[in-house]
Amino acid sequence: MKSKGIMSWPSWSLSLLTLIVTTIALFIISEVFLRGRENGNAVTIITTVIYVLAIVVCCFFIVKKNLSSFWYVPLICNALTIITAFSEDFWKGPDWIFICSGWVLSIVASIIGAIVGKRTAISDNSQSPNNLSEV
């Protein structure tokens, strides 16, 4: 019997959950660390890097579980930063370097997740007792 965990959810819902949780975490972490600090730029960069890394890791695991979700998982997970890219002040600060790097890294992580998931699926099929090559 297959256990019903969070990875049995559809990929779009996991991507949306990633978007919501990482966005809330980004705002909470930046508010906690920026309160009363004069070096706000360094804290902003650190929280942005944490945000990007969380999205990259989630893209890898979501695509690893469902290979066909490669096309839309990075888009949904990065929806906040994609929408932010259309604002006027996005390209003026140093954040755009980390955000655009995060887009590239999430696409690369999705590709790697698809490759690893494909290998796992192939190795699972080869160990199946119903495999015709063993007969």
DSSP 92: T
Q: Is the model's pLDDT at 6 over the cut of 70?
A: no
> What pLDDT, on a 0 to 100 scale, did the predictor assign at position 1?
46
Q: How far apart are CA 112 and CA 55, in angstroms?
A: 14
> What pLDDT, on a 0 to 100 scale, did the predictor assign at position 124?
60
> What pLDDT, on a 0 to 100 scale, did the predictor assign at position 109?
93
In this predicted model, what pLDDT tens digit does every residue of 41-59 receive, in sequence order?
Answer: 777 778 888 899 999 999 9
Q: How many CB atoms lie within 10 A of CB 19?
A: 18
Maximum average pLDDT range among 5-19, 21-35, 61-75, 77-91: 61-75
Q: How far apart are CA 101 and CA 107, in angstroms?
A: 10
For the residues 16-30, what does the mean pLDDT come to?
90
Identity (one letter) of the amino acid at 52?
V
In this predicted model, what pLDDT tens digit does every residue of 69-113 receive, in sequence order?
Answer: 888 999 999 998 888 887 767 777 677 888 889 999 999 999 999
Provide the residue ranges of all domains of the chain, joining segments of one domain with +. Answer: 10-122
